[in-house]
Structures are given as C-alpha cells and as structure tokens.
Amino acid sequence: MTPSRRAPDNARRNESTRQAILNAALELVSEVGYAKLSVEGIAARAGAGKQTIYRWWPSKGAVLFDALLALSGGQEGETGELPDTGDLEADLRAVLRATADELNDPRYSEPMRALTVEVLVDPDLAADYQQRLEEPVREMKRRRLRSAQDVGQLSPGVDLDVAVDMIWGPVRSRWLHRDGPLTEEYVDVVVRTALQGLRAPDIPEEALGDQGAGRVDSRGGDGG
Amino acid sequence: MTPSRRAPDNARRNESTRQAILNAALELVSEVGYAKLSVEGIAARAGAGKQTIYRWWPSKGAVLFDALLALSGGQEGETGELPDTGDLEADLRAVLRATADELNDPRYSEPMRALTVEVLVDPDLAADYQQRLEEPVREMKRRRLRSAQDVGQLSPGVDLDVAVDMIWGPVRSRWLHRDGPLTEEYVDVVVRTALQGLRAPDIPEEALGDQGAGRVDSRGGDGG
Amino acid sequence: MTPSRRAPDNARRNESTRQAILNAALELVSEVGYAKLSVEGIAARAGAGKQTIYRWWPSKGAVLFDALLALSGGQEGETGELPDTGDLEADLRAVLRATADELNDPRYSEPMRALTVEVLVDPDLAADYQQRLEEPVREMKRRRLRSAQDVGQLSPGVDLDVAVDMIWGPVRSRWLHRDGPLTEEYVDVVVRTALQGLRAPDIPEEALGDQGAGRVDSRGGDGG
Amino acid sequence: MTPSRRAPDNARRNESTRQAILNAALELVSEVGYAKLSVEGIAARAGAGKQTIYRWWPSKGAVLFDALLALSGGQEGETGELPDTGDLEADLRAVLRATADELNDPRYSEPMRALTVEVLVDPDLAADYQQRLEEPVREMKRRRLRSAQDVGQLSPGVDLDVAVDMIWGPVRSRWLHRDGPLTEEYVDVVVRTALQGLRAPDIPEEALGDQGAGRVDSRGGDGG
DNA sequence: GGTTAATCGAGACGGTACGTCTTGTCTTTGA
DNA sequence: TCAAAGACAAGACGTACCGTCTCGATTAACC
C-alpha cells in the first residue's frame, strides 16, 4: 500500500519507544487488570507521551494486541503448522495440552483474556484480530483436519469449521468463562469425545494408557 | 437474612422507578452499546437520581443483569425443565434451535452479549450470575442428559459437564465470538456430531429427513 | 432574573471551596505568573476538581478576576465615593498616591497586571470587567470631577471622560508598561499638570477654527 | 556584536523563508487572533519547518515583533524626526491624528495590540521591544518637546518624560483598553488640554509646600 | 393522623481518564 | 549541507463519568 498523505511514516518510528510501550502495557495489565489499564498509565510507565501512543494505535486494546503478538514472538503472517504424525487424536491431544498449559499461566492468560474480551466489544479491533490472528490460526487447524480426512481418520462429509468448533470450542469456552479447570484430563476427554461422540460406548480402560479413567472430575474449584 | 443496619429496606422501594431504570438500561445499551452505557445516562433517561441506582445496584453490569432477567420474564429460582420426549437428539435439536432464534434477535442478543462480556470481567457480577443463572441452567441441562443415560441414549461413562460443554459450547462460542451465523443447519450438525463424533461415517441422507445434507455451509457472512 | 433551567444553582455552591479556589489562583499567579497559571494547577492547589472550576467560571481569567475582587474586599455594586474636601487637587493627589502605593505592592500588582492583560485579550472577560469594575469606578471619578466643576475648580466646558483620561491615563500607562517608577512625585506632577490644563477657561470658540467645539462627545460605541 | 558560539550564522539565512514566516505570522494573527496563533501554524502556513522558526526567533512574540517592524518599513535604528514647523500644538495634532488613523485600521491595529500585550507579559521580549522601538521613539518625542522648550512653547521646568506621558499616554490608554473611539476630536482635545497644562509657567516653589520641586526625576530604574 | 425515617430527584463535589493540542527539542530524509 | 517534515516527551486543555455527598420534598410505616 502506498503510504497515504496523512498516515504516520512508519520509517521514522522510534523502535525503542514502541518496545517500552508494549512492555508497559503488559506489565500494567498484569498489575491492575484491563479495566484499570489506561493510556495515560501506559505512557507514564513507558516514559512516553500520550500522543505517541495515539499516533500509532487507535485504542488501548490495539496496544495490548500488539503487545501480546510480540510476546508470542509471532511474526505477522508466519503461521506455522500443527504437528502431523499421522495419528490425529495424539496430535490434537498434544496441541491442546500445550494450549492448556499456556492458558493456565496467568502471565499469558490474564492479558489474553483481557484482549479476547476487548475483541468481543470493539468491532474495529475485532476486524484486526480476525485478520491477523484468528483466521490464520483457524486455517492452520483446518489444514490438519483436512489431512486427517485424506487418510480416513475423519469422516469425509464433516464440515471442517464445525469440526474446529467441536474440538477447540469447549476448551476456549471453559477457559474464557472459567467454567472449570483446564486439566490434561479435560482436554483429552474433549478430544476423544469430539472424535468419537457422546453416544459411543466407553473405551475399555486398558486402552487409555495412563490418561486415567474415561470419567474425569471435570468440574471443581476454579482456583482463581 | 435479617436486614443489616446498612441494607436498604426493600419494602420501601419504588417499583415504578425500578422499572424505569431497567427499561432505560435496556434502551440505552441497544442505542449506544455497553461501552458507552453510563450510570449517569441511565439515571437521566429514567428520570431518576444517580443515588437511587447506586442504592440498589453495585454496578451498571448488575443493572443490566436485572434488566435482562426481567426481560426473559425469568423469575429468580424458577428453572423449568428441558423437553424430554424420549428422543435425546430431537429434544436437543429443538432446544438449540430455540436458543439460536433468541441469539439471532439483536434486541435480546446485544444486551446479552454485553452482559456476558461484563461477567467475564467483573468477578462480583460473575458470582451473582453464576449463582442466579448459570448454575441452575447447567443443572437443568445435566438432568436431561442424565435421563438420556438412564435410557441408554448416552454412554454411561461420560462426564455430564463435559457433555454439556460439547453440546452447548460450540454454539455459545460461535455466537459470542461471531465466528459465523447461527443457522438451524449449524445447530443440527453440532448436536448430531456431539452425539456421534467426527470420526463416524456419514449418516445416510435418507435418515436425515428434511434437515438437509450432513455437510452444511457453516461459515459465511455474519449477517449482524 | 429567574434562574434558567441550565444555569448552575448558586444556592448549592460550596463557599469554602470557592474561597480555596480564589486563594489558590492568587497564590499561583504570584508564584508562576499568569502565563503558567493553569486551571489544573489551581484545582490541584485548592484541593478541588477541575469541573468545579469549570462549573462556575468560564476561564482562568474569570477566576482571577473574582479573586482580585474578593481581595479588594470590593462587594459587587458597592462603589463608594472619592474624597471630597473641597480641594480637588489635594483630593486627587491623595487618591493617586494611594493607588500608586497599591500598584507598587507586588502582591496586589502582579495579579492585577495579569488580569488587566487578560482583559485586553479576552472579549468575554472584558465585558464582565467593564460592567463590574471599570464603569462603576469611572463613574465615581466622573462624579468627583463634576462636583469640582460645580464649585469652579474645573472648566465647565471640559469633557469629564477626557478629564479622567488626562488624570488617570498617564499613571495607568506608566504602571502597565513599566515605563518608570510610580513615585509620589510622579503622581503629584501628573495631577498638577493635568489640572493646570483642565482648569483653564475655555478657549473662545472662534479661536478653534474647524476643530469643532471644545466639548466633544469623546465616549461612545467602540466600533469593534 | 561578535557572533557568539551558539548564535546562528546570519549570512546563511534564507531571506525568502524569513519573509514567508513574517507574512504567515501577520496573516494568522489577523485571522485567528494572538491567543490562537501558534508556531506550528506559522510554520505550516509559511511552508517552513518549526525548527527554522526556533532557530531564528525565541518566541512567537518575537516573530510578530519582527513582522510588525517589517510592516512599518521601519529599519532598525532609523528613527526619523517628528515634524517641527515651529507650532508645537499643530505639529502634535498632526502626529497624533496620524497615529489615530493607524490605530483605527484593524490590519495594523490588531497585530499591534497583540504585540503590545505580549510585551506586557514576556520580559525578554519587553527588553527587545524597549531597546529597538520604545526608547528610540520616546527619544524622538523628547527631542521635539525640547525644541519647543527652546522657543518658549513649553514651560522650561517641565520634565520631558512626564510631558510625553501627558500627551501620548491618554491616547495609548484609550486605544489599548478600548475605552472609547479614537476620533480626531479626541486627540485634538487631549493635545490642547495637555499643552495648556504643560505650557503654564511653573508654580512658584514656595507654593508647592513639601511636595518638592516642579521638576522631578520621573524616570529611572524600574526595580523589577 | 402525626410522627418519623427512608427514598426520591437533583446535582455539587473530588477525582481519573479521555482524546486533542501545542510546546520546544531531536531525528530523518530529500534536494 | 541545509531545511522540510515530523516524531518525540511533556503537559494543559475542556469534557465525560465515576462514586460519594448533601439537599429539600415526597412517601410510607408505625405509633
């Protein structure tokens, strides 16, 4: 895109100030929570002027978004791939356990929850989020499921977006709404159930390995 | 509970003022959105004093919660039951279609989204919400699923909370995050998949009745 | 005047806060000068909210005006009279010496200079100043001079506004522009010189040529 | 003066940019008034960088001062002389009528008022103004009055600075404070009245009591 | 039925943060 | 090698709401 007449000139941007602002945003959101996060506070903590923030970001949500992206090291377009060992269930289990670990770490989880909530509320931010994070990630998930269809581990008639919803939806939901703890057992059961259905007879215990019983205590104290 | 020294005396409460405040809150949240909803604005619209609001509600989220409860006509404890015709899949289909209809009506949906988001963010409100709405409803869902287990329509080993997550989670998630439209086809596929699993071979078309193909176009324009 | 719907209700005004604001304004204008005087600073020093200032005054100049009025103890309409011992020159000398004393006291002089300058620059404030201070004082001066005309100490043909300008103009000018020190000697000479000019009998009309009468309508519309 | 280490090298100065800046300052001060005049605005209008202004002028007041000097065509030191036809009153009348004409022209008057006010408020600018404009002009006025003393049109005992104040003070005051219109009649009356006072023979010393001599040292260090 | 205590509309108050504006300095870039 | 362009830290502007706090003026309950 040709830089428009009014758009700030990215080349002149002070990178160290940008870093200071993103760090300040992350620190403050951890310390005081998103509701009490303020542009003034970020600027003060970063030793920056407020105008410098307003020059480059449209809202505090956008600052936090960039801060989290930088934290995940995730470079813009770079999506990567989900693991594909040929065993869909095992791969999904690994992926979701890793996700659960991240979501159980408050340093990452609390800012992430704040951002997620802000995205629900700010349509401009939502568009950005959708384009730069949500859609690439969802496509990555679809690719892994398509590959599973190719090798007959997933019904060929299944809509891949529905499949993504069935597998990742419950975990995201439980995390976001704090419906219960995100344990390894929980994600394992979700993966297995999504793939086999609730109606299916229980898998014999011996087939489960050390993942424990098919029935887990999935509800309990939140701890938070 | 004995009324404490400080608690306001419910008996003296002016009911018409209460109604005016709840109505004003609903109107304003539709007109300007939750972010721009303010206690001052509600008071002005309702022709009430700010103190009158602060006397009876701890936050604007709490006002909105009461407003939505009143809107749903739902009286406090009264839970009701999910339909139980003996056919679990048909019953769930009916329930979720009705839910989808509600969530597709912006008059109900937008304030509801606002409240849901506020609950994610305000722990005090969350506790109230959990106790007065979330838990009773979840128990109602669990009861229906338990009944299905009793008649062998659901695997006996399944954790009922996980089951609730598998069935309602994807729909709630898709609605809240605006991942795609909440069509009848979508909820039907979710119900069927949750019960049968993604791995299962496609159900023969003739068995589906007029619900259409097993594969639906579940993604597309949001419509909202 | 009936209080208009939107005007703040003076009865509810917190008098001690008002005093604190006026004091803070006076202190700050002495300490940092008018240019660096800020509404924020006044509010902070007074322990008041900014809105409280904006509720009651339209500008920092207006605050300072009220502060100086309060300082002079001058109650709104109450004008008082200049001394009238029967000796115009002696009376004027006494009055101007007292004025010079005030203007030589920086505690009064510096805020006064700031206000005077602001009046030159802010038309809204100027109107207020004109009505509440300037005009009543000028009328008081005119009254004293009129009385001198009655007893033959001032030429009957002299325009009283010109006379006021001739007597007080040089002093005000020298003070405001810091053209030199305001000593007793200076004001004495100004009084004597002005009166020698003003005391003289009218020049015969025929000697004036076409410059018109000795008495001109020297006051009137400003013309913008 | 030898250019100090820090002073910009005048030889390298871009004259057309300097002109553009002075013109922009004059235009803007007419359009928006001094209060809303900003260095940014001048730079933008002149197509110059802000730094170019800050390099050559210490403040926006200094820019305006130079702009007005350039407008009056007045070259730095060049003072000129007041007319001297031998008739003091006629000469003063002519000079003050011309002054009044200038002050009645808003194109000149409004920037001039702005500058005058700024001089009252900015000591650095005041020093410059005093040295480059005020004092040379006052000396010019003194010269004319001294010449009048020599031919007996002005009392020999009169302090020339007081005389200048008596003649020009009321006009400057009336203009600056918008006390009334600056008509030909007004300036004529001021001149006549002032001269009648100043022309009079000195009052015998013994009549003055202890107020001291008729001639006072009315000028001197400001002390501030 | 009169007393009395709480609620009500209203809105001032001390605050915090907003998003904008300007200042004066520093940095990059293009001619 | 200079000047335009403009990013930057700083901080005031005037506005919007926050949640608390008086005010009188109704109510409503209890004597």
pLDDT at C201: 55
Render pLDDT for C51-80 as a digit per residue (tens, 0 to 9).
Answer: 999 999 999 999 999 999 998 765 555 568
Query: Cβ within 7 Å of strand F: which of C 56-85?
Result: 59-60
Burial of C26 per CB tally in 10 Å (0-12, 13-18, 19+): buried
The token duo for C195 is 């009166």
pLDDT at B7: 57
Lowest mean pLDDT: which of A34-38, B31-35, C74-78, D155-159? C74-78
Q: Are C14-71 and C88-202 equal in CATH topology?
A: no
Select, from the ranges A7-11, B20-24, C212-216, the one with the highest average predicted confidence (pLDDT): B20-24
Average pLDDT of the residues in C89-101: 97
Cβ neighbours of A179 in B, within 8 Å: 161, 165
CA closest to C194 among chain D residues: D197
Whether the CA torsion D143, D145, D151, D156 is positive or negative: it is: negative
Share of chain B above pLDDT 70, in %: 82
Share of chain A above pLDDT 90, in %: 71
Whether residue D120 is predicted with pLDDT greater than 50 in this model: the reply is yes
- Reduce the DSSP state of residue B122 to 3 states and report it: coil
Q: What is the rounded radius of gyration, in angstroms, for the C-alpha atoms of chain D? A: 21
- Answer whether A186's CB lies under 8 Å from A218's CB: yes
Cβ separation of B166 and A194 shorter than 8 Å?
yes
As ranges, strand F nucleotides with an atom below 7 A of a protein CB are: 2-24, 28-29
B198 touches strand F (CB under 7 A): no
pLDDT at D211: 42
- Reduce the DSSP state of residue A183 to 3 states and report it: coil
C-alpha–C-alpha distance, residues C199 and D24, integer Å: 50
Q: How many Å apart are C10 CA and F23 C1'? A: 13
The token duo for C162 is 């010109």
A3 touches strand F (CB under 7 A): no
User: Closest nucleotide (CA of A49 to C1')?
Assistant: F9
CATH of domain B88-211: 1.10.357.10
Whether residue D172 is predicted with pLDDT greater than 70 in this model: the reply is yes
C-alpha–C-alpha distance, residues A219 and A186, integer Å: 9
Lowest mean pLDDT: which of A98-112, A140-154, D77-91? D77-91
Q: Sorting pLDDT into bands at 50, 70 and 90, what band is D213?
A: very low
| Alpha helices in chain C, H assignment, sequence order | 15-32, 39-46, 50-56, 60-71, 88-104, 106-121, 123-129, 135-150, 160-176, 184-199
Q: Sorting pLDDT into bands at 50, 70 and 90, what band is A202?
A: low
- Answer whether A200's CB lies under 8 Å from B201's CB: no
- Answer whether B117's CB lies under 8 Å from A121's CB: yes
pLDDT at A94: 97
pLDDT at A47: 97
Q: Which residues of C106-139 are buried (b: 16+ CB within 10 A; e: fewer)?
A: eebbbbbbbbbbbbbbbeebbebbbebbeebbbe
User: Closest nucleotide (CA of D9 to C1')?
Assistant: F2
Residue to mutate among C162, C193, C211, C219, with most D CBs inside 10 A, is C193
As ranges, strand E nucleotides with an atom below 7 A of a protein CB are: 6-29
Q: Sorting pLDDT into bands at 50, 70 and 90, what band is A111?
A: very high
**Selection from D143, D153, D151, D125 nearest residue D59 by Cα:** D125
Whether residue B211 is predicted with pLDDT greater than 90 in this model: the reply is no
Largest CA distance in chain C: 68
Lowest mean pLDDT: which of A15-24, A176-185, C201-210? C201-210
Q: Name the residue ranges covered by the structural domains of chain C.
A: 14-71, 88-202
How many C-beta atoms lie closer than 10 Å to residue A146's C-beta? 12
**D88-202, what's its fold?**
Tetracycline Repressor; domain 2 (1.10.357)
What's the gap in Å between the CA of B30 and the closest CA on chain A? 13
Residue nearest to nucleotide E19 (CA to C1'): A54
CA closest to A170 among chain B residues: B169
Whether residue A73 is predicted with pLDDT greater than 90 in this model: the reply is no
Q: Is D178 on the interface with C (CB under 8 A)?
A: yes
Lowest mean pLDDT: which of A3-7, A131-135, A149-153, B217-221? A3-7
Residue nearest to nucleotide E23 (CA to C1'): D39
Write the CB contacts of D184 (distance below 8 Å, at least 6 apart in sequence): C211, D97, D100
Please indicate whether residue D203 or residue D189 has the higher confidence score (pLDDT): D189
Cβ separation of A179 and B189 shorter than 8 Å?
no
Residue to mutate among D92, D176, D177, with most C CBs inside 10 A, is D177
Out of C121, C220, C224, name the one closest to residue D35 (CB): C121
Whether residue D220 is predicted with pLDDT greater than 90 in this model: the reply is no
Quote the mean pLDDT of chain D: 83
Whether residue C219 is predicted with pLDDT greater than 60 in this model: the reply is no
pLDDT at C48: 97
C41 touches strand F (CB under 7 A): yes
Tell me the residue length of chain B: 224
pLDDT at A210: 45
Cβ neighbours of B159 in A, within 8 Å: 189, 215-218
Whether residue D202 is predicted with pLDDT greater than 80 in this model: the reply is no
B54 touches strand F (CB under 7 A): yes
Average pLDDT of the residues in D61-78: 77
Burial of A142 per CB tally in 10 Å (0-12, 13-18, 19+): middle
pLDDT at B11: 76
Whether residue C88 is predicted with pLDDT greater than 60 in this model: the reply is yes
Listed as own residue / partner, the contacts of B131-135 with beta carbons closer than 8 Å and 24 or more positions apart are B132/B69, B132/B76, B133/B69, B133/B74
**C14-71, what's its fold?**
Arc Repressor Mutant, subunit A (1.10.10)
Render pLDDT for A141-200 as a digit per residue (tens, 0 to 9).
Answer: 999 999 999 999 999 989 999 999 999 999 999 999 999 999 999 999 999 999 998 886
Q: How many Å apart are B9 CA and E6 C1'? A: 8
pLDDT at D71: 79
Q: Is D144 on the interface with C (CB under 8 A)?
A: no
Render pLDDT for D97-115 as a digit per residue (tens, 0 to 9).
Answer: 999 999 999 888 888 999 9
Lowest mean pLDDT: which of A34-43, C98-107, C206-215, D156-165? C206-215
Q: What CA dihedral angle connects C170, C173, C174 and C179, to 10 degrees?
A: -130
Residue to mutate among B103, B184, B199, with most A CBs inside 10 A, is B199
Q: Which residues of A8-44 are buried (b: 16+ CB within 10 A; e: fewer)?
A: eeeeeeeeebbebbbbbbbbbbeeeebeebebebbbe
Render pLDDT for C123-160 as a digit per residue (tens, 0 to 9).
Answer: 899 999 999 999 999 999 999 999 999 999 999 889 99
Average pLDDT of the residues in D68-92: 82
pLDDT at D76: 54
Whether residue A60 is predicted with pLDDT greater than 60 in this model: the reply is yes
User: Closest nucleotide (CA of D40 to C1')?
Assistant: E22
Whether residue B204 is predicted with pLDDT greater than 80 in this model: the reply is no
Quote the mean pLDDT of chain A: 86
Whether residue D89 is predicted with pLDDT greater than 60 in this model: the reply is yes
CATH of domain A13-71: 1.10.10.60
Whether the CA torsion D191, D193, D194, D195 is positive or negative: it is: positive
Average pLDDT of the residues in A103-120: 92
C-alpha–C-alpha distance, residues C207 and D192, integer Å: 12
Whether residue C210 is predicted with pLDDT greater than 70 in this model: the reply is no
Quote the mean pLDDT of chain B: 85
Please indicate whether residue C185 or residue C221 has the higher confidence score (pLDDT): C185
Q: Is A122 on the interface with B (CB under 8 A)?
A: yes
Render pLDDT for B55-109 as a digit per residue (tens, 0 to 9).
Answer: 999 999 999 999 999 887 655 555 689 999 999 999 999 999 999 999 999 888 9
